[in-house]
Amino acid sequence: IMSGIVLYGIDISPPVRACMLVLRALDLDYEFREVNLLAKEHYSEDFSKKNPQHTVPLLDDNGDLIWDSHAIVCYLVGKYAQSDELYPKDLLKRAQVDKHLYFDASTLFMSLRNVSVPYFYHNVSLVPKEKVDNIKGGYANLEDFLGDNPYLTGSTLTLADLCCGATVSSLAAILELDEEKYPKVAAWLERLSTLPHYEEDNLPGLTKYIALLRSKLTLEH
C-alpha cells in the first residue's frame, strides 16, 4: 500500500469499524491486518511490543503507532483531511464532538464491553439487569442528545456519529433498539447506514458480531 498506513484489528470490533469508516470518509488507502482476539493474538510478542495495552484498533502510520480508536480517528482527520467538518478546528465545535467521543468511550462502549468480554473470555452468558439498564440508559441519552438534529452535533456528520454509530449499531447484539421508544436514534442509525460504503465497512463485522452474541445471552429485566 503506497500510503504506508496499516490498521490492525478484527471487523467484529466496533472501534475497529469506526476507524474503517473514518479511513473511508478520508478516502485513504490502507492495509488491514487481522488480529484474532478470540485466539488471543493481541497478546502475541510482536503485537504486545506495538501496543502494550493489547487492544485493537492499532494504527501504524509509517512506523508511528497509535491506539485507542478515538485517538486514531482524531489524528487521521488532523493529518489527512482536506477540510475539518469531521473534527472541527473551532474549539467550541470541537468540544461538542469531543464530549460525544468521551461518551462513546466511557458509557456506550463500556456497556457493550462489560457484556462481551465476560462472554467471549469466561463464557458468562447471563446479563444482569444493571448491565441491561446501562445499555437502555445509553440509548436514552442519545435520544436526548439528537433532539431535532440529523447528527449528534447538529446538521453535519462528524467523528462523533461515526464512532458512536459503530458502537450503537453493535449494542443490538445484546439489546435490540426499541424503535418506538427511541425513534430519533433509529432514524439516526438509518441515516448513517446510507453513507457510501457503510455496507462494506460496518455491516459485515456488525452482522458477525450480532450472530456471535445475541442468541447466546440471557438478559435479566
Residues with catalytic roles: 13
Give the C-alpha separation, 91 to 97, whole Å: 10
Task: State the number of CA atoms in the 13 A half-sphere of 38 facing the CB.
Answer: 10
Give the C-alpha separation, 209 to 216, whole Å: 12
Closest CA to 139 of 114, 161, 172, 92: 172
Vertex 148: Cα angle to 159 and 20 (nearest 5): 20
Query: In sequence order, what are the beta bridge partners of 64?
Result: 61
Cβ–Cβ under 8 Å, residues 84 and 40: no
User: What single string gives the DSSP state of each residue in 81-115?
Assistant: -SSSSSS-SSHHHHHHHHHHHHHIIIIIHHHHHHH
